[in-house]
Amino acid sequence: MQKEDVARLFTTPVDSPAYAPARYRFTNREYLNIYYRTDPEAVRRLVPEPLTVTDPIVRFEIMRMPDTTGLGDYTEAGQLIAVEHEGDKGEFNLAMYVDSVPAISSGREYSAYPKKSGSPTLYVDSDTLVGTLDYGTLRVATATMGYKHHAMDPAEALAQVCAPNFMIKTVPDYDGGLRVCDLVRTRITDVTVKSAYTAPARLELFAHAMAPLADLPVLEVVGAGHILTDLTLSPVEPVFDYLTA
């Protein structure tokens, strides 16, 4: 392999890339979103400056993705915290638990998604939409929502899907320090909302040292959504450099 070929590598291994060099388009991406109020001090300990917390609202999400260009079929779960940055309202993506190695690799390496391994599921049980998250052999979250009780306003569905995501991008240096440490932002584009519903919902979180979702306790469920979409993820853009601040 010539030097110029090495410089063009998208990722490694050199003979079998960990993920496809694609802009990811999701077809029939299905969300279960549960919004809840939590302890204000708990979120402030986790949200990095220069983001600000105006209301201690967390979104627990399960995303079922059966058809993703380059990545195939997988499921994710995560927690996102409502924040603002210079007047731009969005969400700080705290953690994501994913059942796909290519999705974890691409999310962390190519972008800045805080992904680690987990076993989320999303399914219908009689008249109830159920989302679960296991970490290893232990259950760490169970979400339930009535199945398609009330049609959601399309504008509300878009707001749930399209809120800007803020994340921390880090790249270690060879001496153990950091080569990159940025606050970045990404947006979802080319969205088609195929269906959107709301209904009564509940969320139960279980304490776990390595999947600490319960550190943001559920004080009050304030909303829920079940949304089916097609969409595209945009690349991240840096908004703050911690190494030069």
Whole-number pLDDT of residue 245: 86
Cα 100 to Cα 82: distance, rounded to the nearest angstrom: 26
Count of all residues that appear for the chain in the document: 245
Characterize 107-135 residue by residue with b for buried, 16 or more Cβ atoms within 10 angstroms of its Cβ, and e for exposed. bbbbbbbbbeebbbebeeeeeebbbbbbb
Taking the C-alpha atoms of residue 102 and residue 93, their distance in angstroms, rounded to an integer, is 19
pLDDT (tens, 9 = 90+) of the chain, 245 residues, equals 999 989 888 899 999 988 888 789 999 999 999 999 999 999 999 999 999 998 999 999 999 999 999 999 999 999 999 999 999 999 999 999 999 999 999 999 989 999 999 999 999 999 999 999 999 999 999 999 999 999 999 999 999 999 999 999 999 999 999 999 999 999 999 999 999 999 999 999 999 999 999 999 999 999 999 999 999 999 999 999 999 98
Pick from 72, 56, 55: nearest CA to 64 = 72
DSSP state of 99: S
By annotation, the residues acting in catalysis are 115
Q: What per-residue confidence (pLDDT) applies to 197? A: 98
For residue 26, the model assigns a pLDDT of 97
Query: Given this model, what pLDDT does residue 91 score?
Result: 98
Task: Supply angle C-alpha 37, 65, 20, rounded to 5.
Answer: 120
Q: For residue 20, what pLDDT is reported?
A: 85
Cα(146)–Cα(124) distance, integer angstroms = 10
User: What's the pTM value of the predicted model, to 2 decimals?
Assistant: 0.95
Q: What is the DSSP letter of 214?
A: G
CA distances (Å), 99 to each of 25, 82, 147, 213, 237, in order? 18, 25, 24, 17, 26
